[in-house]
Amino acid sequence: MDHAEPPQWPSLDHEGVAFLAAGRLCGGYFLFLHGPMSSGKSAWAIKLARNLSMASTHVRTFSTGKVERTKIASRDGQSVPAEWLSPTTRLPSADLIAEKPVLIIDEAQFLTRSQAIELHSLSIRHNLVVVCLGLLWSAEGRVFSGAAALLLCGALTRPLPHDVVCWCGARAVADARPMGPGDSRRYVPVCFDHATIDKS
Ligand SMILES: [Zn+2]
C-alpha cells in the first residue's frame, strides 16, 4: 500500500524562517511554537509573515484574546497588521478555504477550544498551513486553555528556539511572578524546575 510523503518539518533553528518562507511546507501543516515571554514569538511571527509575503505567498495574520489587537508587535518595534480573534469571533473559514492563505496566529494561548478545533479542521481537511505561536504555561503553573486545545487537536508542538534563561542559568520554559522584595517586574523567566508547576 502506498503511503503519502510525511509532512516535512522545518528545522526550528535560526534557519527555520527561511525554511518556511522557501515554501517547503506541506498543506495540512498545523504547528504550535511555544516559549516563555521575551522568547521572540512575535518577532518570529512577523519575520515569517514578511518572508512569506516576499515569496508571494498569501498570508493572513491573527492575534487572539479578550483585548483587541490589530497588529502583531515585537519588542524591537517591528509590527505587522493582524486580524483580531476575540473569544466570540468565528474564524472566516469559508474565505480561508477559498483563499488558502498561510495562517499565522499570535498569542495562540488565548484561542478558544472551538477556534483551535476549527483551525485543526482547516489544516487537516482543507490542507491549510497554520502556524500558531504562544505561551504554554501560565504564571500560575497551568497550561493555557488555548495551548491545551492545540495539544488536544494534535498540533505539531515544539518549543521555539530562544536564549531566555532562568535565574539558575537553565533554559526558561515558563514565567513566574517575582517573589523578591523590590523586584518590580511583573514576570520573570523560569526553568521547569523553578516554575510554579505541580510536579507531584
Ligand atoms: Zn531555574
Domains, the chain: 16-162 (3.40.50.300)
The rounded Å distance from CA 189 to ligand 1 centre is: 9
The cell for 161 is 528556539
The rounded Å distance from CA 80 to ligand 1 centre is: 33
The rounded Å distance from CA 34 to ligand 1 centre is: 18
- Cα separation, 162 vs 142, whole angstroms: 21
Place of cell 534557519: 15
The cell for 125 is 481537511
Condensed to tens digits (0 to 9), the pLDDT of residues 80-113 reads: 999 999 999 999 999 999 999 999 999 999 999 9
- Cα separation, 168 vs 190, whole angstroms: 8
Name the pTM for this structure.
Answer: 0.86
The rounded Å distance from CA 60 to ligand 1 centre is: 37
DSSP letter at 115 equals H
Largest CA distance in the chain: 65
Per DSSP, the residues of 130-172 read EEEEE-SB-TTS-B-HHHHHHHHHT-EEEEPP---B-TTSSBP
- For 43, residues 6+ apart whose C-beta sits below 8 A from its C-beta are 74, 75, 76, 78
Q: Is the dihedral of CA 72, 77, 80, 84 positive or negative?
A: positive
The rounded Å distance from CA 185 to ligand 1 centre is: 17
- Phi, psi (rounded to 5 degrees) for 128: -100, 150
Residue 164: CB atoms within 10 Å = 18
Condensed to tens digits (0 to 9), the pLDDT of residues 126-159 reads: 989 899 999 999 999 999 999 999 999 888 888 8
Place of cell 523560569: 190
Condensed to tens digits (0 to 9), the pLDDT of residues 22-80 reads: 445 556 778 899 999 999 999 989 988 988 888 778 999 999 999 999 999 998 899 99
Q: What is the pLDDT of residue 166?
A: 95
Using the predicted structure, report yes or no on whether residue 162 has a pLDDT greater than 50: yes
Per DSSP, the residues of 62-77 read EEESSS---EEE-TTS
Q: Which residues have CB less than 5 Å away from ligand 1 (the ion)? A: 166, 168, 170, 191, 194
